[in-house]
Structure 1
Amino acid sequence: MYSNLSVTNITAEQQYQGLLERVMFSTLITVPCCVFLFINFTMLFTLRSKTVFCQTSRYVLLYNLLFADTVMLVLSQLMYIISACRIRLTYPVCGVLNMLGALTKEISPLILVVMSLERYVAVCYPLRHATIITIRNTGLAIVVVWAFSSLNVLTRIILLLQFPFEDLESLQMTTLCSALVLLLVPMSDHYDKAYTCFVFVSAGVAITCSYIGVMIAARSASTDKASARKTRNTLLLHLIQLCLSLSSTIQNPLLIAISKTATRIVIVRIQIALYLCIFILPRCLSSLIYGIRDQTLRPILIYYLCCRLKLVNHSQG
């Protein structure tokens, strides 16, 4: 069953594309990916350039969110290039790449939950915010998030090792590497669906409850209306980010349904478009959203992004 599913995956379908088309699509995807990576790396550097960013909880959380998204973006692009070049990996190498991807993929929704709770406390309990949301507590929350995600990866590895690899003639893969190819036992597929559903439902409930709590607090006379409105907008953005991350989980079922009527090459083109929209773009929204909206962060980020232009203008003057 899984070999049939994997044929709908982009990594297994690259063989049906011609060289010119593969080069064109690879360029179309790699160029914006490099641009977004430049923005993300600049944002990460910015968040470590000032002491205030390193000692403020929401910026520390933002750094971890950006770090996970950036690593995920790098891994996704690496896997795409490997598949576009028709390079067949061994099962261990493919497993390592996919497990790293699984680790960073699940970090984002969990960090969004922590960020939402931080904003909820800031609005609903402003007098206790400084004592509840400390750097120490923030660091502890980040450790819990990474530990929880690491436990998920460990579980996936244990399920993967249940497959009798010793019966294979070689560990060299006969198909191109993809996450679906590694679902070698039925339990892996069941676990993947159950875990993904649990994480996103839990995250959605937590962010929604935070939003409702802020809405209720905003009606109180003692609440800062401007702060509540800004927090409410931030939580809405968190929900949008969560929905975009969740959209990646429906990609394979959607392509399976399309594959019943469409040709393989059409499926490849559709999945490339989906990859650009639901894998690359969502990984870059955090930098754009927070970099533009945050008044403290915005001028410093723009300075680093435009530093060379300023240097050129200064030298010409």
Structure 2
Amino acid sequence: MVGNTSANASVRTQINWEVIFVQILVFAFLCINTMMILTFFTRAYFYTNIRYILFATSLLSDCLMLIVTNALLILSYSRTAMPLSLCLVFFVVSSVYGFVTPVTLTAMTLERYVAICMPLRHAQLCSKLRALWCIFIIHGISSVPCVLILLSFFAPATQNLLRKFQICAVHQFTSQTWQIDLRLGISQTYFLIMCLVIMFCYAKIMKVAKAASGDNKKSSRKGLRTVILHGVQLLLCLTQMWCPFIEAAVLKISFVAFNTVRFSNYILFYLVPRCLSPLIYGLRDDKFVLALKYYALCDFRRNKSLDLTR
């Protein structure tokens, strides 16, 4: 009994430190993303440019995803049960916005392809109106996997299922083997399509970079680095879709190992990809960094001119 009590106390201490560490990271990332979102809305140059509109979309998606997944993490660690109807809301948001970020990254890669390889048509193809339609399409594409998974879950379900209380977890909605195969098939299909798009854009931009000179060559090389970073970020984002299945398998073996694996997955595949967005399109963009420094050092309420069009 003493040994079991000591082991349980050790696990609880480990969980407490993990939760505290995650809260610090989430708070830091949310603060950075919020500052960048506020910077985006302060200048017309940003919210009329498709590049920055898509960037802001990814930031908002990341913030919502972090808030929801962090809430689920806390509820899971505290072993708090909830009705399945409430868990369904968490699942829909996390599922849809789990795809919004990688789909947005793919759209941002295509925008870089058009800007570098088709500069004369960039203004026509990447207007503000088309950016708004692009956001609707991104959310529509991202909702398809969630709809299919829920249809597969509720088809054989009973009427009282939504009233059932239990600890909320994503794998609850894919409990059958064929449902797991369906979700993996959808994730792999999305992953394959997005990878093909990124590789296509990389090859085309590489071709332009080799033929370019001067400022055009510099811009093309920067576009290549951006596409590569998008590829890494996309890989991490899509890997998170495998996490629930890995965690469910580990839980059957050991609860201690389950907590360790879940904590590692959350850091590597939820937090890291979402801290790359500010790095790729925020801190690497000269105009955005200029505006960010300006409004960080000054005050968002002060009306001072800042010319970003040059």
Give the TM-score normalised by structure 2. 0.86
Higher RCO (CA 8 Å, separation ≥ 6 residues)? 1
Q: Structure 1: where are the runs of 5+ without partners?
A: 1-14, 309-317
Shift of 1:295: 0.4
Matched, 1:54 2:71: no
Find the aligned partners of 1:62 and 1:131 in 2 and give their Cα distance.
19
Instruction: For 1:7-26, list aligned pairs within 5 A.
Output: 18-26=11-19
Find the aligned partners of 2:251 and 2:127 in 1 and give their Cα distance.
51
Identity of aligned residues (%): 26
Residue of structure 2 equivalent to 1:188: 179
Instruction: Look up the SS of the partner of 1:163 in the other structure.
Output: coil
Instruction: Look up the SS of the partner of 1:130 in the other structure.
Output: helix
Aligned partner of 1:133 among 116, 126, 144: 126
Find the aligned partners of 1:17 and 1:212 in 2 and give their Cα distance.
52
Find the aligned partners of 1:183 and 1:46 in 2 and give their Cα distance.
40
Q: Which amino acid aligns with 1:292?
A: L
Residue of structure 2 equivalent to 1:288: 279
Q: Is the 8 A contact 2:171 2:245 kept in 1?
A: no
- Give the 3 Å change call, closer, same or farther, for CA 251–154 of structure 1 in structure 2: closer
Shift of 1:79: 0.3
What is the CA RMSD across the aligned residues, in angstroms? 2.5
Deviation digits for residues 245-281 of structure 1, max 9, x if unmatched?
Answer: 1221333455567678x74313312321221121112
Deviation digits for residues 142-166 of structure 1, max 9, x if unmatched?
Answer: 2111122223323332222123333
Matched, 1:204 2:195: yes
Instruction: Look up the SS of the partner of 1:86 in the other structure.
Output: coil
Q: Which amino acid aligns with 1:215?
A: M
Aligned partner of 2:270 among 274, 279, 303: 279
The structure whose residues are more often helix, as a share, is: 2
Instruction: For 1:227-266, list aligned pairs within 5 A.
Output: 227-252=219-244, 254-255=246-247, 263-266=254-257
- Give the 3 Å change call, closer, same or farther, for CA 50–129 of structure 1 in structure 2: same
Q: Which amino acid aligns with 1:220?
A: A
Shift of 1:192: 1.1
Instruction: Look up the SS of the partner of 1:70 in the other structure.
Output: helix
Give the TM-score normalised by structure 1. 0.84
Deviation digits for residues 157-206 of structure 1, max 9, x if unmatched?
Answer: 222212333366x82334x2100012144443232111111111101100
- Give the 3 Å change call, closer, same or farther, for CA 91–201 of structure 1 in structure 2: same
Q: Which amino acid aligns with 1:192?
A: R
